[in-house]
């Protein structure tokens, strides 16, 4: 039986806007901290300082046992990179996934950013991953289905020959980091679409394309967290928490550098 989707009230959505604003600010802080020679742990500490100074709590900290405040994934790391002593170098691409809880509600967003000058292929990967989110946003309206979001991402990304990760998906967001429904970045096969809800006003979801330069197969490292591409190809991640409205969706984790 499918888990119930929690539709937010106007008051709850306002709390989610506040949480989203802090979360987006933390993503900006992380992006600005990326430079040659910095460690992922140093970026993580800056993220935590910003979130706590804003009166919020870093949602990812100890979530399921995760030891960091943000997921910081480099190059072939897709998601869930554990911040620590790893040094970032010029030419790397860095994916930062952050969450902040404020007034009992969660904001969740991510982005992939260059460290200095990167290869044209890496730059294109970042651009396509980001734009695939906005392609999905075009169908994030009442009457469309969750599968339409995944189809929009997949069609756009695969036109460039890039891979769409299957094993990890977007999700509902609210009082909890992960709520119903799951939001795949691909159109599920027909037999997998028995639960394919229509989008309705008040649904809050995180759309988060995870895209690779090569194949979409991934594996988890021995630390039980960090997910990497099987073929070692570069990966990028872009995410925002959005709210379905009567018309255009609202990006709750909006920032000027989005």
Query: What is the C-alpha to C-alpha distance for residues 228 and 211, in angstroms, rounded to an integer?
Result: 11
Q: Where are the alpha helices (DSSP H) in 36-111?
A: 40-53
Residue extents of the structural domains in the chain = 10-251
The CATH fold of domain 10-251? Creatine Amidinohydrolase (3.90.230)
Q: How far is CA 40 from CA 18, 34, 35, 58, 87, in A?
A: 26, 9, 10, 16, 7
Look at residue 224 in the predicted model and tell me its pLDDT: 98
Model pLDDT, residue 194? 61
- Alpha-carbon Rg of the chain, whole angstroms? 17
Q: Which residues of 130-146 are buried (b: 16+ CB within 10 A; e: fewer)?
A: bbbbebbbebbbeebbb
pLDDT at 190: 63
Give the pTM: 0.97
pLDDT of residue 192: 59
The whole-number pLDDT of residue 191 equals 54
What pLDDT shows up at residue 195?
Answer: 81
For residue 189, what pLDDT is reported?
A: 76
pLDDT of residue 193: 56
Using CB atoms within 10 Å of the CB of residue 211, give its burial: 0 to 12 exposed, 13 to 18 middle, 19+ buried: buried
| Strand 93-102 with 105-114, pairing | antiparallel
pLDDT less than 70: residues of the chain: 1-2, 190-194
Among 177, 172, 180, 166, smallest CA distance to 64 is for 177
């Amino acid at each position: 039986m499918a888990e119930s989707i929690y539709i937010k009230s106007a008051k709850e959505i306002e709390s989610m806007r506040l949480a989203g604003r802090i979360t987006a600010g933390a993503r900006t802080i992380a992006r600005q901290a990326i430079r040659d020679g910095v460690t992922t742990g140093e970026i993580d500490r800056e993220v935590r300082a910003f979130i706590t100074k804003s009166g919020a709590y870093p949602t990812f900290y100890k979530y399921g046992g995760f030891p960091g405040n943000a997921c910081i994934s480099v190059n072939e790391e897709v998601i869930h990179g554990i911040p620590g002593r790893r040094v970032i170098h010029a030419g790397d691409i860095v994916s930062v996934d952050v969450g902040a809880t404020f007034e009992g509600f969660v904001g969740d967003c991510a982005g992939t950013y260059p460290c200095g000058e990167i290869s044209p292929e890496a730059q294109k990967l970042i651009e396509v991953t980001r734009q695939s989110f906005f392609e999905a946003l075009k169908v994030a309206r009442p009457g469309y289905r969750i599968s339409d979001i995944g189809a929009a991402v997949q069609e756009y990304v695969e036109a460039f020959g890039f891979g769409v990760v299957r094993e990890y998906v977007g999700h509902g967001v609210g009082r909890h980091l992960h709520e119903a429904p799951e939001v795949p970045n691909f159109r599920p096969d027909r037999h997998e679409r028995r639960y394919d809800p229509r989008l309705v006003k008040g649904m809050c979801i995180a759309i988060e394309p995870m895209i690779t330069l090569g194949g979409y197969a991934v594996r988890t490292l021995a630390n039980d967290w960090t997910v990497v591409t099987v073929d070692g190809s570069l990966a990028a991640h872009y995410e925002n928490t959005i709210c379905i409205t009567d018309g255009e969706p609202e990006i709750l984790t909006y920032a000027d550098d989005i």
